[in-house]
Amino acid sequence: MLKLENIQMQVDDDSGEKFEILKRIDCQFEKGKVYAVTGPNGGGKSSIAKVIMGIYKQSQGHLYLDGEEISDLSISERANRGIGYAFQQPPRFKGLTIQNVLTIAAPNADLIKVRTSLRDVGLCPEDYLDRDLGAGLSGGEIKGIEMAQLLLRNPVISIFDEPEAGVDLWTIQKLLKLILSTYKGNPNKTAIVITHNENVIPVCDEILVIAGGMIDAKGTPEQVWKLIKDDIECKVRNQCQGEISYAIK
Amino acid sequence: MQLSKLDMDLLEAVADLKKVPQGALNIRLNGVPVMRHSSPNISVGPNQDGSGLLVEIKPGTKNETVHVPVMLTQAGLQEKVYNTFVVGENADATIVAGCGIHNDSHVESRHDGIHEIIVRAGARLRYAEKHYGEGNKTGKRVLNPTTVVTVEEGASAEMEMVQMKGVNDTLRSTVAHIHARGSLKIIERLLTQEDQKAESDITIYLEGPGASAQVLSRAVAQGDSYQLFKAALIGRDACQGHVECDAILMDNARIRSVPEIQAEDAEAVLTHEAAIGKIAGEQLIKLMSLGLGESEAIDTILEGFLR
Ligand SMILES: Nc1ncnc2c1ncn2[C@@H]1O[C@H](COP(=O)(O)OP(=O)(O)O)[C@@H](O)[C@H]1O
Ligand SMILES: [Mg+2]
């Protein structure tokens, strides 16, 4: 189980002032479950993922993996303890082929598994394995390769950051199904899917709504999904202004 | 003549050769040719004034390779060599050059290689040149290659020049003349460390209609090293040329990049791109999130960049 305890995170803004991005995040992610993390743009979803991966350092609070504190571990140490993150905006590399990167992601995977991971994200291995991960790939392709790395790595905690962005409709349905079937009820694994996808959110085990650097709502789809829908409808009709609030605490 | 273990290691470093190859060959060791043979299509012999080699590839030769590696293991040796290569009409051949210096002394070892390469009409040449130095004392390892290439009508040449490790000082000068429909691609990859200095100066004249040239330079400078990269494209007809130089700067190193394009014909299309930067933090983070340690991640990025 991954536990975040009173996590706060701040950055320096342009004028050198502290700017608070995560205010107070308390939550836990259990094995065998798929979590949907959603909420408005800029709410802090990716920041939470980066704090879990060790890319951002929390200014306060603690992280525990299976009861052991990991708050001060480096990115590599967390990766080797079983945390994996598919970036929302993956970087490009000059001179590394897709096969190179997949081999780094999972040094022990055989070629059959490597190929399967590409097929799972809708990319034909013959066309892609030897291609450079630099310029020349579309945003959707880069995104697919990013997710293939995580699927292949198959860590204990897998965080997918907006897998649907830029990925075609055919592939994304298949991929989301794969994520649900791989992780749901799997006693050793947890998936955290940051997503806006209306088909996925209601079928996850739990939903977290992140807004303004805080958890605005959390619970089962039955508890949270209707509130989200109502709120969206209300926004569309322009009847309510200001911050989203779901009143579930 | 038998080559020692040291010679063989050096041979592998500069020419990727694990054993002495078949076919046309000249191995120069400490100022003298120690092995030389020609093949039916490629003649390898001394040039007229005895200052170096004359390598002639017969017209129409297909898929043959000639190896001309140079090795210096004798401390303090300094030499200047003039070699001429002629690739006959419509031939298709590979020249593997390269120079390795082993200098474990306190005096300077130096090789100045002057290469003239003529690629006759319709021929195709691939040219690979690796430079490498090793040794633990203060004696410098210096390599100054000068290359003059002529690409005749409809011919093409692809030249890959690589300097990865251990060369203290290098001044490489490359001049090319490309005629109608001829094409030249130069790929240069340079890594400098400690207080090494490297300067590369490339000038390409696009002389005829349809001539094209492409220069790709990848450079990494570490430690206190310094690199200067100059590339000039001069378009004198309806031609195409592109220079791209990309550099990663680390530690206290410095890199200066001076691309130049000069057009003398309204139909000439010449472009350049140059970028110097540190290792992208995003790439480092990405690789670390796949389980690599920081230094492993840096090595992976640099290796890919210089590949
Ligand atoms: N490194 C950073 N420096 C400055 N501001 C940041 C940084 N990372 C995130 N932010 C800001 O924090 C807020 C939350 O960002 P993010 O976690 O990416 O949101 P989400 O993923 O929910 O869209 C945004 O306002 C964003 O601009
Ligand atoms: Mg985000």
Q: How far apart are CA A194 and CA A46, in angstroms?
A: 8
Give CA–CA dist A130/B207, Å, rounded: 36
Give A121-166 pLDDT, tens digit per residue. 999 999 999 999 987 899 899 999 999 999 999 999 999 999 988 8
Q: What's the CA gap between A237 and B31, in Å, rounded?
A: 87
In contact, B70 and B42? CB cutoff 8 Å: no
How many angstroms separate the Cα of B86 from the Cα of each of A86, A190, A233, B43, B120? Answer: 53, 65, 77, 10, 7
Query: Which of A17-21, A24-28, A56-60, B239-243 is predicted least confidently?
Result: A17-21
Query: Which residues, other chains included, contact B114 with Cβ-Cβ below 8 Å and sequence gap of 6+?
Result: B52, B80, B81, B82, B83, B145, B146, B147, B148
Please state, in angstroms and rounded to a whole number, the distance separating the CA atoms of residues B294 and B279: 12
CA dist B214 and B239 (Å) reads 11
Whether residue B122 contacts residue B89, with contact meaning beta carbons closer than 8 Å, is answered with: yes
Question: Closest ligand 1 atom to the C-alpha of A47?
Answer: 17
Nearest-atom number in ligand 1 for the CA of A50 is 17
Atom number of ligand 1 nearest to Cα A13 = 4
Q: Which domain holds residue A129?
A: 2-240
Query: Is B295 contained in some domain?
Result: no
Distance from C-alpha of B271 to C-alpha of A234, rounded to nearest angstrom: 54
Buried residues in B53-83 as b, exposed as e (16+ CB within 10 A): bbbbbbbebeebbbbbbbbbbebebebebbb
| Distance between CA atoms of residues B111 and A59, nearest Å | 57
CB contact under 8 A, A91 and B289: no
Contact B289 A94 (CB under 8 A): no
Q: Is A165 among the domain residues?
A: yes
Asked if pLDDT for residue A240 goes beyond 90, the answer is no
Residue B193 structure tokens: 């460390």
The minimum CA-CA distance between A84 and chain B, rounded to whole Å, is 7
Whether A17 shows a pLDDT value over 90: the answer reads no
- What is each CA distance from B282 to A90, A95, B200, B268, in whole angstroms? 8, 16, 30, 38
List the single best residue of B289, B301, B306 to mutate versus A (max A Cβ within 10 A): B289
- pLDDT given for residue A31 in this prediction: 95
Mean pLDDT of A191-215: 93
Cβ(A43) to ligand 1 under 6 A?
yes
Mean pLDDT of B283-306: 95
- Is the Cβ of B293 closer than 8 Å to some Cβ of chain A? yes
Which residues of chain A are within 8 Å of residue B294 when distances are taken between CB atoms? 74, 76
In a domain, B259, yes or no: yes
Q: Chain B: residue nearest A92 by CA?
A: B283
Residue B293, min C-alpha distance to chain A (Å)? 6
Q: Tokens for A19, please give them.
A: 């700017």
> What pLDDT, in 10s, does the model give residues B1-36?
678 998 998 999 888 888 888 899 999 999 999 999
Residues of A at the B interface, defined by Cβ within 8 angstroms:
53, 55, 74-76, 79-80, 84-85, 87, 90-91, 93-96, 100-101, 104-105, 149, 153
Quick check: A91 and B283 CB within 8 A? yes
> In Å, how far is A105's CA from the nearest CA of chain B?
5
- For residue A169, what is the enclosing H or E element? helix A169-183
Q: CA A161, A165, A166 angle in degrees (round to 5)?
A: 140
In a domain, A133, yes or no: yes
Ligand 1 centroid to A212 CA: how many Å?
A: 10
Q: Which ligand is nearest to the CA of A39?
A: 1
**Domain around B133:** 5-281
Confirm whether B300 is domain-assigned.
Answer: no
pLDDT at A246: 52
Q: Return phi, psi of residue B9, to 5°.
A: -60, -40
Count of CB atoms situated within 10 Å of the CB of B201: 16
CB pairs under 8 A between A and B: 51
How far is C-alpha A192 from the geometric centre of its chain's CA atoms? 5
Yes or no: say if A213 and A244 are a contact pair by the CB < 8 Å rule: no
Report the CATH number at residue A11: 3.40.50.300
Q: What are the beta bridge partners of residue B86?
A: B56, B118
Residue found under tokens 């013959």: A126
CB A224 within 8 A of CB A211: no
Report yes or no on A177 lying in a domain.
yes
User: What pLDDT is stored for residue B17 in this prediction?
Assistant: 85
Rounded-to-integer distance, Cα A159 and Cα A152, Å: 13
Q: How far is A241 from chain B (nearest CA, A)?
A: 37
The ipTM of this complex is 0.92
Candidate of A11, A13, A21 to mutate for ligand 1, largest count of ligand atoms within 8 Å of Cβ: A21
Q: How many distinct structural domains can be found in chain A? A: 1
A89 Cβ closer than 6 Å to some ligand 1 atom: no
User: What pLDDT shows up at residue B119?
Assistant: 98
Averaged pLDDT, A30-35: 96
Residue B165 has pLDDT above 70, yes or no: yes
User: Which amino acid residue places its CA nearest to atom 24 of ligand 1?
Assistant: A42
The total of structural domains in chain B comes to 1
- Ion ligand 2 nearby residues (CB, 5 A): A 45-46, 88
B187 sits in which H/E element: strand B183-192
Please tell me the predicted confidence (pLDDT) of residue A242. Answer: 55
The greatest distance separating any two alpha carbons of chain B, rounded to the nearest whole angstrom, comes to 61
Domain presence at residue A247: no
In a domain, B30, yes or no: yes
> What distance in angstroms lies between residue B198's CA and the mean position of ligand 2's atoms?
43
**The ligand 1 atom nearest the CA atom of A41:** 23
Torsion sign, CA atoms A74, A79, A82, A87? positive
Residue range A78-98, pLDDT digits in tens:
999 999 999 999 999 888 999
Give the integer Cα–Cα distance in Å for B42 and B59: 10
Give this prediction's pTM.
0.85
